[in-house]
């Protein structure tokens, strides 16, 4: 499982001109599910995202988590995080999980984080203000 996590001052996701999820200060998470991912990957991602210490404390050091600041989280599924553009000009997505596997795992992460969310499989527009900017890429651990 792969996530792009951005510290934001505001984020919202729209489908067909309607805002379906929005947060103030917190984290915007673009989440991709790879072939072979399972609920253990989703649970790992929930704990990692919820406890990342990337918000400033009173001294300005990144020392607080989104939980510590009682911030919001917005999760948007994005299979293109598994796009491979090494060859040719059109990316391949064979490393991305099929929707039947991916959707329940995205739902599990969003539920575990009590997150606002996008709509799986929809054409979405994401609007955000990256704070810092702070952006991290997380990959769940590989297993044999």
CATH number, domain at 27?
3.50.80.10
Residue 29 belongs to a domain: yes
Q: What proportion of the chain, given as a percentage, has pLDDT over 70?
A: 99
- The Cβ of residue 107 has, within 10 Å, a number of other Cβ atoms equal to 15
User: Residue 65 contacts by C-beta under 8 Å, 6 or more apart in sequence?
Assistant: 50, 51, 52, 53, 54, 55
pLDDT at site 143? 67
Q: Distance between CA 59 and CA 40 in Å, rounded?
A: 36
Catalytic pick among 19, 55, 70, 80: 80
Residue 19 belongs to a domain: yes
**Would residue 86 show up in a list of annotated catalytic residues for this protein?**
no
> pTM for the whole thing?
0.95
Residue among 30, 16, 3 nearest 124 (CA):
16
Confidence of residue 140 (pLDDT cuts 50, 70, 90): very high
Catalytic pick among 19, 55, 70, 79: 79
Q: Is 72 helix (H, G, I), strand (E, B) or coil?
A: strand
Residue 111 belongs to a domain: yes
- Total number of domains constituting the chain: 1
The whole domain housing 130 covers 2-85+92-139
Residue 43 belongs to a domain: yes
Q: Distance between CA 130 and CA 70 in Å, rounded?
A: 18
Instruction: Report phi then psi at 19, rounded to 5.
Output: -75, 120
Across the chain, mean pLDDT equals 96
Tens digits of per-residue pLDDT, 65-105? 999 999 999 999 999 999 999 999 999 999 999 999 999 99
**Would residue 80 show up in a list of annotated catalytic residues for this protein?**
yes
Confidence of residue 144 (pLDDT cuts 50, 70, 90): low
Mean pLDDT of the region 6-12: 98
127 within 8 A of 14, measured Cβ to Cβ: yes
């Amino acid at each position: 499982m792969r996530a792009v996590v951005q510290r934001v001052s505001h984020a919202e996701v729209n489908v067909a001109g309607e805002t379906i999820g929005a947060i103030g200060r917190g984290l915007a998470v673009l989440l991709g599910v790879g072939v072979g991912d399972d609920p253990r990957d989703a649970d790992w991602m929930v704990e990692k995202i919820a406890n990342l210490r990337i918000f400033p404390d009173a001294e300005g050091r990144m020392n607080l988590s989104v939980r510590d600041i009682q911030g919001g989280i917005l999760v948007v599924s994005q299979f293109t995080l598994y796009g491979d553009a090494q060859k040719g000009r059109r990316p391949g997505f064979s490393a991305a999980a099929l929707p039947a596997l991916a959707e329940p795992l995205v739902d599990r992460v969003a539920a575990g984080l009590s997150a606002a969310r996008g709509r799986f499989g929809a054409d979405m527009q994401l609007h955000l203000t990256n704070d810092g900017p702070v952006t991290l890429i997380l990959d769940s651990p590989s297993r044999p």
